[in-house]
Amino acid sequence: MSGNQFADIEGIFGHSGNFGLALPEGTVLSVATPHLDPSQGEVSRITLRNRFCTITVELRRAMSTVGAGSYRMLLGMSQEQAQKALKSDLYTVVTSVTFSRLLAGNPDMPNYKKWAMDITDGLETQFSDQVVWSKTKDWLIFHRVAGN
């Protein structure tokens, strides 16, 4: 994961002997580290490939900004404070899944479809700003109503 800004973040895939990335048997994991693509800018790619499907997760740097954007008010910061203290790097994550047509009727195919959907849904749940913002607003409203 050399060159990946998120490689050192502790989590279920990092620095713990109790967790790891589980892949179906025969799945090959390949990583294209961040590089400059003339047509797309900075891009990196993770590919999971087996005989049933190929899952591609592409990460593209969208832009960098100073400040905290819509989170500024939640942090209780003025615009000036946020611009001095914070910087945001925005990324676009594009996932794609292709399935083998030759194995469409295989009794194991539903398991691979579920696995692929769990990965794409999990990425959206964890990293989509729209999902995170919605949960953050709900959390804030709950705690204000609860008096915390």
State the pLDDT confidence band at 128, using cuts at 50, 70 and 90: confident
Burial class for 7, CB neighbours closer than 10 Å (0-12, 13-18, 19+) = exposed
State the pLDDT confidence band at 116, using cuts at 50, 70 and 90: very high
Q: Which of 60-69, 90-99, 111-120 has the lowest mean pLDDT?
A: 60-69
Give the residue with greater pLDDT, 2 vs 60: 60
The tokens describing 11, both together, are 């989590």
Residue bearing tokens 């409203």: 141
- Predicted local distance difference test score (pLDDT) of residue 146: 67
Tell me the C-alpha distance between 26 and 86, whole Å.
43
Query: Model pTM greater than 0.75?
Result: no
- Predicted local distance difference test score (pLDDT) of residue 20: 59
